[in-house]
Homo-oligomer: A and B are copies of this chain.
Amino acid sequence: MKTEHRSGCPINLSLEVFGDRWSLILLRDMIFGGRRHFRELLNGSIEGIASNILTDRLKRLMELGMLTKADDPSHKQKAIYSLTEMAITLVPIMAHLGAWGRVWLPVSEELSIRAELMERGGPELWEQFMDELRHEHLGAPSKTPPGTPGVRQQLQAAYQAVVARKAESATA
């Protein structure tokens, strides 16, 4: 754990945690993409992180208390990375960040559909999603009634729909 801080300002300290080009990207992929393994994070993100940087960031985020690591029972070499409560509470920030980016930056339609859905869902959806993440990553009991479609499921479905529509209009 790094104990030398530039200042005790909350915004500065937050930046010291994820004010770099990769940390928040990884957390995004774990939160919204459901990625839990090294290889998933390595090959799964569109931005293309290098494996040494990925190693370093996973280690760093663990030291900072944002992630934990556990053995995957199905494979003696596989490790499962889990979000901590600290990381899960970034969901509203992610949602705001996505919403801001959608307004001001040249986002692509496919990749911003998730942000749009989070924006439309509002704080209630965020809470449901965080509850879901606590269930997946912390083993917490889920408060949502059984049969309710998961938030990530909805996000993925929306993404697939856009991709399908785009492919269709391209061949038409």
Contact = CB atoms under 8 A, between A and B. Distances in A.
Interface of A: 5-15, 17, 19-21, 24-25, 28, 46-48, 65, 86, 89-90, 92-94, 96-108, 110-112, 115
Quickly give the copy total for this chain: 2
Contact of A14 (B5, B92, B101, B111): B101
Given A93-B93, A103-B89, A104-B86, A15 B6 contact: no
Secondary structure at the A interface, as helix, strand, loop or mixed, is: helix
B9 A112 contact: yes
B9 A46 contact: yes
A102 B89 CA distance: 12
Contact of A21 (B8, B19, B24, B115): B19
A89 B96 CA distance: 10
Nearest to A95: B96
